[in-house]
Structure 1
Amino acid sequence: MHPGPADIREFRDAGHVRPPWLIDLIQSEINGGKCDRSQFSAIDRNTEATTLRISGLGQRDLEHLVTTYGGRFTAIEFWKCPRLEDLTPLEDLPDLRMVSFFWNQRATHLWNLARTPHLRALRLDNFLRLHRLDDLPAGQALDHVCLDDSIWPKSTFETLEPLADLTGLRSLTLKPKRIDDNRIQPLGALTALEELNISTNLFTTEQFAWLRSRLPATVGSRALNPLRHLKEPWDPAGKSGDVLLVGKRKPCLNSETDAARIRRHVQKFHRMVAAFQEDRSLEPS
């Protein structure tokens, strides 16, 4: 059998490349369509595939898929399966390495991730009713987690505290609308991170400065710098802005006319980082 995708990027690109290890059952309907089990004959025909992309699954379809074919797949993308409510059937797939969901309207919990001990990558995109991340710490093999809102910015999480237990994470994407307890501190425990893709307005500038002081300097992240230079200028109210200050409610400014203000922001950011590094008992307000 084919080994399947080497990493999450290859997994996500598979729908365009159509490698031999992939079975693609994504339907053309904009809402993902509705699963017709006759589609599963494609699984019977390709006995070498180890990766599945599928849309329109209902609850009974998921249970049938897992019972009949599940043991064959190490990576599954559930694309527009908004009616799935109970994800515990995935506990019967111990060889799963990667799981991706795009658009779910019903599930409020994940599954016991300890039952999928080889799970390395988990992507939850527009997972609208999941507000607690308590299930994640059981996924101790996870090195890639993506909690995204790429279409509808509606997701909210009570706290990021469960993420602090995923100390092996190398890549984290975090783009919800809001974190209810407004604490960034749990992310400071993720010292194995190589990449942090987080909304630059999710927390204050002070909070991002604190996180910068706690994570390795090698972590790649736009949010751990005082500003972003925009490739395409933004033009709010007739003012062309090409520099976005990092932090909640921070503006987009013009690098020429607002140079002094930008410089003060950068200097303040670096002073805060230095203060947090000098006194590690300090926390952002």
Structure 2
Amino acid sequence: MMALANTGVEKLSFTGRAIADNDLSFMEQLPHLKVFDFPTNLFTTEQMAWIVANFPQVEGFSLKPKHDCELFESNENPVNVPGAIIVGKRKPALKVRGNEAKIEKYVQAFETLKEKFKDVPYRDAFPL
């Protein structure tokens, strides 16, 4: 991704299972970036919170603590019920009913991480 550094890229969108170096420091050299879209489970929650904290002008599907969605009640009862996809590697998709407190805990943890990473360079936040 470092090949994108210091370019005029405004929109960056990709799919995949992994980034070879898992390094988002290139974002510090993309001053014109406005949209950054990628799968909700590609980066850690910490990395996503760092992006949101340091690049508030950048929008993206995964750049928030959770996504509201619909999930099946169960395999036996395939009725759509309100759900939430928590962003970050290895984070769950949860039915809202009965998990309200757990979902709010994830949201609050994301907000805390945003505060922690505000104005922190990537290499300081995520040393090699």
TM-score of Structure 1 vs Structure 2, range by shorter chain? 0.7 to 0.9
1:139 match: none
1:207 match: 47
1:244 match: 85
Q: Deviations over 1:192-230 (max 9, x none)?
A: 122111111111101111111221x23221211111112
Identical columns (%): 29
Matches within 5 A, 1:28-47: none
Asked if the contact 1:276/1:283 (under 8 Å) is kept, the reply is yes
Distance, in Å, in 2 between the alignment partners of 1:185 and 1:204 is 14
2:126 match: 284
Q: Does 1:264 align with 2:101?
A: no
Matches within 5 A, 1:13-92: none
Higher relative contact order (CA 8 A, sep 6+): 2
Distance, in Å, in 2 between the alignment partners of 1:224 and 1:187 is 14
Q: List alignment gaps of at least 5 residues for structure 1.
A: 1-159
Residue identity matched to 1:234: L
SS for the counterpart of 2:84 is strand
**Number of aligned residue pairs:** 122
Tell me the C-alpha RMSD between the 2 structures.
2.3
Distance, in Å, in 1 between the alignment partners of 2:113 and 2:124 is 10
Moved more, 239-248 or 194-203: 239-248
**TM-score, normalization by structure 1:** 0.39
Give 1:237 deviation, angstroms. Answer: 5.0
Structure 1 consecutive aligned stretches of length 4 or more whose deviation exceeds 3 Å: 236-241, 278-282
2:71 match: 234
SS for the counterpart of 1:213 is helix
Structure 2 residue corresponding to 1:190, chosen from 7, 15, 30: 30
Bigger Cα Rg:
1
Structure 1 residue corresponding to 2:60, chosen from 191, 202, 221: 221
Asked if the contact 2:49/2:63 (under 8 Å) is kept, the reply is yes
Asked if the contact 1:185/1:211 (under 8 Å) is kept, the reply is no
